[in-house]
Structure 1
Amino acid sequence: MAIAPFLLAIYFASLTIYRSVAVTILTSPDELKSSQYDFVVIGGGTAGLVVATRLTEDPKVRVLVVEAGGRNEGVLNSIVPYFAVQLLGTSSDWNFTTVPQTGLLNRTLPIARGHILGGSSSINRLDYTRGSNDLYDRWANLTGDPSWSWASLEKYYLRSSRLVPPTDGRDTTGDVDPSTHGFGPIQVSLVSLPAELDARVVNTSRLLGGRFDYTQDWNSGNSIGIGHTQCSIGQGVRSSSAVAYLDPLIDSSSRPNLSILINTVVTKLLPSEASHGVPEFKTVELGQVNSNSRFRVSATKEVVLSAGAIGTPHILMLSGIGPKEVMTPLGITTLVDLPSVGQNLTDHPLIQTHFLVNSTKTFDDVLRNETLAQQTFAQWNTTRQGLFAGPSGGTIGFLRLPSDSPLLSRFGDPASGPHSPHIELIFANAFGAVGVSVPATGNFMSISTGVVSPLSRGFITLISSDPFGKPLLNPNFLDNDFDVFAMVQALKDMQSFISTDPWRGIVIGPTGQLVDATTDEQLQLYARNASVSLNHSIGTARMSPFSAEWGVVNPDLLVKGTRGLSVVDASVFPSIPECHTQAPTYIVAERAVDFIKRGMACVLVELGLSEG
């Protein structure tokens, strides 16, 4: 959605969004006071900041975080929840682009990844859904490690986030289940200032039941139904890993053993002498854009790679860890031949559809009326309340295919279990297109449909040995027929839902290409013409059993065939979550901290510095 130009002036004029910072974050490797740390964390994103802040709870542990992007401090479009996706396509986004997608009629798509402290948790659309218990039990089966089951992971979910009230102070009884939430730093809340649309969605769900049945809480272990959106928002601002985990330490100056180096790219990992025939990677080479200088830092204990599902395999392959046939032609010496690096790229396809509605209570006028937008921003800026304290929609749905769907008999059930969905509906009370101006007149609602259990698989690979270049990115959207047919089902479910009595006289009709898409064949074509990425890339360094020849990391997240190197981010997911990927990434990061601490304890025992 386009934002009025007046916000540029507010960005510079509004001082209330800034805080005094007691600790300086380093902006150049020249400023490093040491070249050696206990841990070097590559990536200050969703997972990396969790790992770094948790490890440095021990004052004797020294950690360096290397982040390619800049500060999150004072970045208005990251702070204000209603502006959630305004950073896409800016310098705070890596601005990746896919190769032409065969399943999308050879269209190329932008893929958003955070290039800023907090990573994608600083630029995403805020939804907080952890997925069903079935998801994590599936991970335990895929990895052969019961510690990835929900029974073992629940404590990490509780440790990562907590439920807080929406800023409007309304009674949320029946809209959320507080007993399913934890006590961690990430603040999670229902949307403030719910729209007329939200009540209509919930009422329709309760009326219809069945596949559209109402669900009270997405974080209860059952991810099926329609209900109120939960977002990573607290006190009217985005709650990212940078805001929730890092900023309190910066403000209090309570963590001198944690250093953050921004605007710096990891060019490659360097091996030391092999230990027992296994290469050890504890040295990191650094560089900055427009500079030929290279710097090296080392970890005495471990390097933690948290560069995300695109950045992590890119760095691994630049370092000689990956498919030999990819690296050799580019002059990169193969140190560890791991064919799975960069493979299994999986993402959720999404279609944004807009409907003209007979209502004057949508939020469209705020986006096209500068005076009204100024007033709304002023309300948020002084009180952290009002429309801008939340996203434009407060309801969401996760549905399974009909039990008699021929897709299930033809393809099997790709979901993790009976409490995991196949498709998604996201409701917004405005013309919610990213990067598209709101029409000059009319009132709209938007419904996005997605496939959350896709069978299409893509890959990431190198096209250059230049560490400042971008990898080739091919998610293979709608490459598998299941995904096409499931998206058609989602479109049909969307239309069935808003054709019921509660919507009579409200919905005038769809806009754009959906107007003429009435048959299954036309809907398939519409899906191929209109699908984009929900920006949930995962799986490119996936976990596998210790004995498996496939996969990139073992269940303890250490890279196969190496020592001293682990991966902690969404790239390790062995299957795609049937939910938004933010909350599962926090769970993995919190779990990883205990793996790393256990490894530290083992080293101390080996050195005779601990009794174990």
Structure 2
Amino acid sequence: MTWSTASYALLLLFNLTLCSAVFVENVSQLNGLKFDFIVVGGGTAGNVIANRLTENPSVSVLVLEAGGSNADVLNIIVPFFNVKATPNTAQDWNFTTTPQVGLGNRAIAYPRGFVLGGSSSVNSMAYTRGSKDDYDRWAKVAGDSGWSWDNVIPYIRRNERFTPPPAANTTQTYDPAAHSLTGINSVRLPTFGRATDALVLNAAASLGQLNKDMNSGTPLGFGWIQQTVKNGSRSSSATSYLAPQFIGRPNLHVMLNTRVTRILKNGSGALQTVEFAQKAGGARFQITASKEVILSAGSIGTPSILLHSGIGDATELSQLGIPLVHNLPSVGKNLTDHPIVRVSWFVNSNTTFDDAERNATVAAEVFAQWNTTRTGLLSDSTSSQIGWLRLPESSPILRGVTDPSSGPLSPHIELIFADGISVSPPPTGHYLTISAAVVSPTSRGSLALNSTDPFAQPVINPNLLGSPVDVAIQRAAIRSAQNFIKAPAWAGYILAPFSLNDTASDEEVDAFSQTHASTLDHPVGTAAMSARGADYGVVDPDLIVKGLRGLRIVDASVFPFIPAAHTQAATYIVAERGADLIKASFGI
């Protein structure tokens, strides 16, 4: 790409979040300080917890974040640059999966945010809540109606600060009743018009598949994507929940570049002591919360810390020589993710963003516009519309198997539209890319340790396309993309296939998926919630670790099922309710 040479020199440094005086820079600053709560992980969920608990000035909170600051990192701040934020950057954990059988034994990069804000600082900013059925299924499996759609709506509203499009923009639709204007995390529709906008919407209308607002709980159909963007810049948990008016609270402390290695029992047997280090092989330190430790290290970090703490499957821990603290076999199991395959076509256009990706002059122009006005191509992510589709009830894919979706309102397939090829387009030509994803997968993977070193990478096996059903749904997703562009609205725009022939056989489509599928970066479920008394799962419906005191988990690892949606919004919802559950436990 040309951005690094043509555009970075134009950057006017600005600070979005940090007020260094309130950040803990070294361990000595903790001497003599006492905290009611310690939050492990300053990511999507952890910053919500820190914010909500410190609303009470008598409650003290320490956040321990493994990564560094999100401030002044261009690839994080500029929405369009989200494709550059990961992998292989200083803001990424730079995980790698095991060889994936469903991907032709390829090991792939597995991006997660290694920075304040966690993955909300590096994701694609898609704000999609999922369906009513997704949350109602959570409530059923957890035996707690508090997780149902109707009961999480207040938490949706508490999280979201929606910016309606200008009244003059009559093509952009949303349902005002589905949104909050008073929350913390900013959400808006795209603002930069693309040639493909009308084509996607007209094609959907001709098929009777337009959706006014897919965040209403009924997402099926095609429509505008909603994004966590504020004034042309990314809105993450770091820029919103730790905005200056919050991070300045004297009862909130945040310590960056600090790796939590274990959670230990205190004198009363509660898991309220946190062991941490600031570099591999460095000194270990301990600090104890007077009330509770909240693990918010994400679907990879949270089970890793549990296992290093001796909380997990007794046999597996014994094989590693980790002393058993609590036998909880479900830790690290149930890893669930969305596989995705990107398919591109040559198009009859010279306005796609391909030129901005490969032409230094164009790159400089669009960056100059963003840098001075926070508008233009770079003020949105790479996609403006998405679609959610269900397989027909008569589909042979579902014959003889339990429907993997959460219910009739939930999709099996997602299509994401981009008017170009991100990161590395060919030297010439203009393109349309449709990313086809399996959003109700049947495959389940796992996370495990292969070392007692907490700085070593865990063994991550998301098992993408690991079942015949998922392979078939992925094929159906690609076929859905191919069929969608046959709508009359696309006539004269689509020229020819670029990456996959439209006449490819089922076997050829499956082979293409095996060699090109990747992750949509949505790992969940590795510390899943289940009903009280269940002989599986890691946390009870109140998110307290089963059979333990003093330790609660609040992040995407507690999802019992993956929502048929991008997982950012659901993580915020879990965190907002998690904060209320903590407050209720301690009467604060």
Q: Which amino acid aligns with 1:81?
A: P
Q: Which amino acid aligns with 1:505?
A: G
Query: Given the alignment of the two structures, is residue 569 of structure 1 paired with residue 567 of structure 2, yes or no?
Result: no
Query: Given the alignment of the two structures, is residue 380 of structure 1 paired with residue 348 of structure 2, yes or no?
Result: no
Deviation of 1:520 after TM superposition, in Å, equals 0.9
Q: Which amino acid aligns with 2:254?
A: I
2:521 to 510, 535, 544: 535
Q: 1:262 to 1:339 in 2, by over 3 A?
A: same
- 1:215 and 1:15 mapped to 2: Cα distance? 40
RMSD between aligned residues:
1.7
Deviation of 1:290 after TM superposition, in Å, equals 4.1
Query: Given the alignment of the two structures, is residue 142 of structure 1 paired with residue 146 of structure 2, yes or no?
Result: no
C-alpha contact (below 8 Å) 2:346/2:431 kept by paired residues: yes
Query: Given the alignment of the two structures, is residue 551 of structure 1 paired with residue 537 of structure 2, yes or no?
Result: yes
- 1:32 and 1:181 mapped to 2: Cα distance? 41
Q: 1:465 to 1:10 in 2, by over 3 A?
A: farther
Match in the other structure for 1:271: 265
Match in the other structure for 2:151: 152
In the alignment of these two chains, the number of paired residues is 586
Query: Given the alignment of the two structures, is residue 188 of structure 1 paired with residue 182 of structure 2, yes or no?
Result: no
Deviation of 1:16 after TM superposition, in Å, equals 4.4
CA offsets 1:487-512 (integer angstroms, 9 cap, x no match): 10111110111012111121122223
Match in the other structure for 1:225: 221
- 2:264 and 2:106 mapped to 1: Cα distance? 38
Give structure 1 stretches of 5+ with no counterpart: 605-612
- The farther-off stretch of 218-227 and 516-525 is 516-525
Aligned partner of residue 495 in structure 1, secondary structure? helix
Aligned partner of residue 448 in structure 1, secondary structure? strand
Deviation of 1:368 after TM superposition, in Å, equals 1.6
C-alpha contact (below 8 Å) 2:386/2:415 kept by paired residues: yes
Match in the other structure for 1:326: 316
Deviation of 1:450 after TM superposition, in Å, equals 0.2
- Please give the residue correspondences for 1:293-312 in structure 2 after superposition, counting only pairs within 5 Å: 293-312=283-302
C-alpha contact (below 8 Å) 1:327/1:333 kept by paired residues: yes
- 2:577 and 2:3 mapped to 1: Cα distance? 39
* TM-score normalised to structure 1 length: 0.93
Query: Given the alignment of the two structures, is residue 430 of structure 1 paired with residue 417 of structure 2, yes or no?
Result: no
Q: 1:31 to 1:291 in 2, by over 3 A?
A: farther
Aligned partner of residue 437 in structure 2, secondary structure? strand
Q: 1:75 to 1:454 in 2, by over 3 A?
A: same
C-alpha contact (below 8 Å) 1:4/1:370 kept by paired residues: no
* TM-score normalised to structure 2 length: 0.97
- 1:302 and 1:18 mapped to 2: Cα distance? 30
- 1:442 and 1:236 mapped to 2: Cα distance? 28
Deviation of 1:310 after TM superposition, in Å, equals 0.4
- The farther-off stretch of 104-113 and 365-374 is 365-374
- Please give the residue correspondences for 1:93-242 in structure 2 after superposition, counting only pairs within 5 Å: 93-165=92-164, 170-172=168-170, 175-182=173-180, 183-209=182-208, 213-242=209-238
Match in the other structure for 2:343: 353
2:473 to 459, 473, 486: 486
Q: Which amino acid aligns with 1:330?
A: L
- The farther-off stretch of 522-531 and 93-102 is 522-531
CA offsets 1:138-173 (integer angstroms, 9 cap, x no match): 00101111111112111001100121145x885256
Match in the other structure for 2:256: 262
- 1:315 and 1:531 mapped to 2: Cα distance? 29
Q: 1:517 to 1:299 in 2, by over 3 A?
A: farther
Match in the other structure for 1:525: 511
- 1:461 and 1:286 mapped to 2: Cα distance? 20
Deviation of 1:193 after TM superposition, in Å, equals 1.1
Q: Which amino acid aligns with 1:494?
A: A
- 2:107 and 2:55 mapped to 1: Cα distance? 44
Deviation of 1:519 after TM superposition, in Å, equals 0.9
CA offsets 1:460-480 (integer angstroms, 9 cap, x no match): 001001011111000111111
Deviation of 1:541 after TM superposition, in Å, equals 0.2
CA offsets 1:507-545 (integer angstroms, 9 cap, x no match): 122223x13861111111111111100000000000000
Q: 1:250 to 1:598 in 2, by over 3 A?
A: closer
Aligned partner of residue 264 in structure 2, secondary structure? strand
Q: 1:516 to 1:159 in 2, by over 3 A?
A: closer
Aligned partner of residue 410 in structure 1, secondary structure? coil
Q: Which amino acid aligns with 2:468?
A: D
Deviation of 1:249 after TM superposition, in Å, equals 2.8
Deviation of 1:10 after TM superposition, in Å, equals 3.4
Match in the other structure for 1:608: none
- 1:503 and 1:48 mapped to 2: Cα distance? 44
Large movers: runs of 4+ above 4 Å: 16-20
Aligned partner of residue 256 in structure 1, secondary structure? coil
Deviation of 1:20 after TM superposition, in Å, equals 7.5
C-alpha contact (below 8 Å) 2:16/2:239 kept by paired residues: no
Aligned partner of residue 469 in structure 1, secondary structure? coil
Q: 1:226 to 1:34 in 2, by over 3 A?
A: farther
Deviation of 1:6 after TM superposition, in Å, equals 2.3
Q: 1:10 to 1:34 in 2, by over 3 A?
A: farther
Aligned partner of residue 535 in structure 1, secondary structure? coil
Q: Which amino acid aligns with 1:429?
A: D
Match in the other structure for 2:566: 580
Q: Which amino acid aligns with 2:512?
A: Y
C-alpha contact (below 8 Å) 1:77/1:83 kept by paired residues: yes
Q: Which amino acid aligns with 2:339?
A: P
C-alpha contact (below 8 Å) 1:2/1:438 kept by paired residues: no
- The farther-off stretch of 572-581 and 174-183 is 174-183
- 1:234 and 1:169 mapped to 2: Cα distance? 18
Q: Which amino acid aligns with 1:264?
A: T
Q: Which amino acid aligns with 1:185?
A: I
CA offsets 1:241-272 (integer angstroms, 9 cap, x no match): 00111023367x3x010000000000101112
- The farther-off stretch of 496-505 and 464-473 is 496-505
Deviation of 1:330 after TM superposition, in Å, equals 1.8
Give structure 2 stretches of 5+ with no counterpart: none
- 1:382 and 1:493 mapped to 2: Cα distance? 40
Q: 1:172 to 1:179 in 2, by over 3 A?
A: farther
Match in the other structure for 2:352: 362
Q: Which amino acid aligns with 2:517?
A: S
- 1:2 and 1:591 mapped to 2: Cα distance? 43
C-alpha contact (below 8 Å) 1:23/1:250 kept by paired residues: no
C-alpha contact (below 8 Å) 1:517/1:523 kept by paired residues: no
Match in the other structure for 1:609: none
- Please give the residue correspondences for 1:390-469 in structure 2 after superposition, counting only pairs within 5 Å: 390-432=380-422, 436-469=423-456
